[in-house]
Amino acid sequence: MNAVDGTDRAGAHNDAEPPSLLTIILDTNPHAWSLLADSLPLSQAIANLLVFINAHLAINHANKVAVVASHSERAEWLYPTPTQPGQEAADLNGTFEPEGNGTSGGVNGNLGGPVKPLDDANKYRPFAQLEHALLSNLRKLMDTTTVDAISSVPSTMMAGALTRALAYISKQTAAHPGATANSHFNYSDPSSIAGGNDLSANNGSGSATLGLTTRILIVSVSGDLADKYIEIMNSIFACQRLGISIDVLKLAGDTVFLQQAADTTGGIYMSLDANSRAGFLQYLMFAYLPDQTARNHLIVPGEQEGVDFRAACFCHKRVIDIGYVCSICLSIFCEPLADGNCLLCGSHLTMTNFGQRPAVIPKKKKKKKKTLEGSVGSPSSGHATPIPG
């Protein structure tokens, strides 16, 4: 179009840096954080995370942040604050925009209105609002966590947090004024239908510069997500289709699936040990602050490592590297099925050649035995003949 009439319409549009929505999923599993209390307590991690969030907001005035807590028995929003049933729906709108005035703490019956206790002249207003909302929501989350809940569920709701984050991202992307048909998922657009392929993934990164760019950062502390394997994989593929990269910063534990998530969606995966954990903020600022376009020009950490592609079996939720796959429904099992019926689709399965020894070895042995017997027999006869001879 520009070439045809000699005008440069896109020029003005591209000057402004595209706003970026950073969605942080914070694993707040109390079990795991209590184990980390020596090297990196939760309070310090939150303080570091707030510095990181402020840095992200400071890069571009239109940048946005959303924080989801993946707690032990539920996933909750930390920022923006969800409206409680008793509250007005209207004061929620303001919380999306950092520069909006309508941010409400959303707790202690603080209905609507700007956040009063935090009008500190020395602090950039969006920072203060976000900090207050995040901290009070987190405190509320911790306060409402019962002892029973912690003792019954030792894991974290990562799949739920991811799904909620994705629903929010999809809505924000669609609602963004700069959103074009390319930049958000359009159900009737052929290229976006198959966004997961390599070809269209390239298209996605090009067109994403027009609208809101989105990414997800997972700060994970707990291991073992195997019981939510399918749900997590579903969310990962959704991210891949939408062109959202998942960055993972692993503070403790080992989850195979988050590494696969980062690899599949083109994000960064880093795992910190006890020594490097103290440098949490430094890792955040140096590895995770640059957005997708900037990363093209940087040496990205984590590329020098392999990726663990193991899967979880459907029967015992074990993480395995050799499994048995039903040829009808592709379910994975960790051991051969007892009655030979697939647990999911019920079809009768035969083990084709499992447990069958490779046929070559016994045959060879037999042959050798035969030849040995033969050779045993022949020398005797051989012995017999020369002696008389």
Q: Which residues from 150-169 bind another protein, rule CB under 8 A?
A: 152-153, 157, 159-161, 163-164, 166-168
Q: How far is Cα 369 from Cα 226, in angstroms, rounded to an integer?
A: 50
Closest CB to another protein among residues 63, 81: 81
Least distance in Å: CB of 153 to another protein?
Answer: 5
Residues 328-357, interacting with another protein (CB under 8 A):
328-333, 336-337, 340, 342, 344-345, 347-352, 354
Q: Which is nearer to another protein, 15 or 187 (CB)?
A: 187
CB of 388 to another protein, least distance (A): 53
Candidate list 46, 233, 287, 300; residue touching another protein; CB under 8 A:
233
Is the CB of 7 or the CB of 84 nearer to another protein? 84
Q: Which stretch binds another protein (CB under 8 A): 32-40, 116-124, 232-240, 277-285?
A: 232-240
Query: Which span (2-10, 55-63, 301-309, 381-389) binds another protein, by CB under 8 A?
Result: 301-309
Based on the shown chain and the rule CB under 8 A, indicate whether residue 234 belongs to the binding site for another protein: yes
Among 304, 361, 388, 389, binds another protein (CB under 8 A): 304
Binder among 28, 29, 172, 183 for another protein (CB under 8 A): 172
How many Cβ atoms from other residues are within 10 Å of residue 93's Cβ? 12
H or E segment and range at residue 348: none
Q: Which of residues 71-110 bind another protein (CB under 8 A)?
A: 72-77, 80, 82-83, 85, 87, 89-90, 92-93
- Beta 311-312 vs 319-320: how paired, if at all? antiparallel
The 250-289 contact track toward another protein, x by CB under 8 A, reads: ----------x--xx-------------------------
Among 64, 125, 228, 250, binds another protein (CB under 8 A): 228
The CA distance from 29 to 220, in Å, is: 9
- Residue 143 CB, nearest approach to another protein (Å): 18
Cβ atoms 332, 325 nearer than 8 A: yes
Ramachandran sector of residue 302 (left: φ over 0; alpha: ψ -120 to 50; beta: rest): left
Among 58, 307, 343, 376, binds another protein (CB under 8 A): 307
2: which DSSP letter? H
Contact 173, 183 (CB under 8 A): yes
Whole-number Å distance between alpha carbons of 347 and 369: 43
Binding residue (CB under 8 A) for another protein from 7, 14, 327, 375: 327
As measured in angstroms, the least distance from the Cβ of 371 to another protein is: 28
- CB-count exposure of residue 287 (10 Å: 0-12, 13-18, 19+): middle
3-state secondary structure of 197: coil
For another protein, the closer CB: 135 or 166: 166
Lookup result for tokens 């994705």: 166
From residue 314, alpha-carbon distances to 95, 104, 128, 202, 259 in Å are: 41, 44, 46, 34, 20
Restricting to residues 181-200, which ones interact with another protein according to CB under 8 A? 185, 187, 190-191, 193-194, 196-200
How many residues interact with another protein (rule CB under 8 A)? 93
Q: Would you say 48 or 247 has its CB closer to another protein?
A: 247
**Angstrom distance (rounded) from CA 64 to CA 124:** 15
* Nearer CB in complex with another protein: 224/308: 308
Compute CA distances 280 → 117, 181, 247, 277, whole Å.
29, 38, 14, 5
CA distance 131 to 51: 10
Write down the residue that tokens 């707990």 correspond to: 222
Residues 23-82 interacting with another protein (rule: CB under 8 A): 72-77, 80, 82
Provide, rounded to whole angstroms, the least separation between the CB of residue 291 and another protein.
22
The per-residue b/e assignment along 301-331, b for 16 or more CB within 10 angstroms, e otherwise, is ebeeeeeeebbbbbbeebbbeebbebeeeeb
Q: Min. distance of Cβ 192 from another protein in angstroms?
A: 10
Tell me the closest approach of the beta carbon of residue 26 to another protein, in angstroms. Answer: 14
